[in-house]
């Protein structure tokens, strides 16, 4: 790992590092999430559900993703860079336009030994891509 990146991960002044022990933000769009952090969140879905309000998002009358509101500041959502008003439109290329699709993606990702996730987010009209390595 390049020395400047190593320093940034360790939280040198002027860098953004808001994750918990199991989440490291490498760049504004890249994160590393410990498998244990993800498992803790996913084994307690009722608690995770209280950390943000998530509602379907529609554009021109068609479902185009899920919009996040009322994100609890120290929640998993905040730690991985999701902000109030963000709409998650795709995960790993799969459209997130129905609860069934979200469940299908969750089941595919849950059992993988190493996961690379790319999320497409719409934030205030701009499309952002964030990537997460689950290790």
pLDDT in tens, 70-86: 999 989 999 999 999 99
Q: For residue 5, name the pLDDT band (cuts at 50, 70, 90).
A: very low
Confidence check: pLDDT of 12 > 60: no
The pLDDT-based confidence of 1 (bands split at 50, 70, 90) is very low
C-alpha distances (whole Å) from 106 to each of 43, 44, 94, 115 are 12, 14, 11, 12
Question: Any idea what the CATH number is for the domain that residue 48 is in?
Answer: 2.30.42.10
**Structure-token pair, residue 134:** 């689950």
Using the predicted structure, report yes or no on whether residue 13 has a pLDDT greater than 60: no
pLDDT for the residue 112: 67
| DSSP one-letter string for 31-44 | EEE-HHHHHHHHHT
SS3 73: coil
Average pLDDT over residues 88-114: 82
Q: How far apart are CA 126 and CA 4, in angstroms?
A: 29
Number of compact structural domains in the chain:
1
Q: Give the three-class secondary structure for 66.
A: strand
Residue range(s) defining the domain that contains residue 57 = 3-134
* Confidence at residue 113, expressed as pLDDT on a 0 to 100 scale: 64
């Amino acid at each position: 790992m390049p020395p400047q990146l190593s320093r940034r991960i360790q939280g040198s002044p002027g860098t953004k590092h808001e994750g918990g022990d199991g989440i490291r933000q490498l760049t504004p769009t890249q994160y590393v999430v410990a498998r244990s952090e993800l498992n803790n969140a996913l084994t307690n879905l009722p608690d995770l559900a209280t950390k943000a309000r998530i509602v379907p998002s529609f554009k021109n009358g068609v479902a185009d993703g899920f919009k996040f509101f009322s994100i609890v500041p120290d929640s998993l959502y905040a730690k991985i860079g999701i902000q109030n008003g963000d709409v998650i439109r795709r995960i790993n290329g799969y459209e997130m336009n129905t609860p069934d699709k979200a469940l299908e993606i969750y089941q595919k990702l849950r059992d993988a030994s190493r996961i690379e996730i790319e999320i497409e987010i719409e934030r205030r009209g701009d499309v952002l891509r964030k990537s997460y390595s689950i290790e």
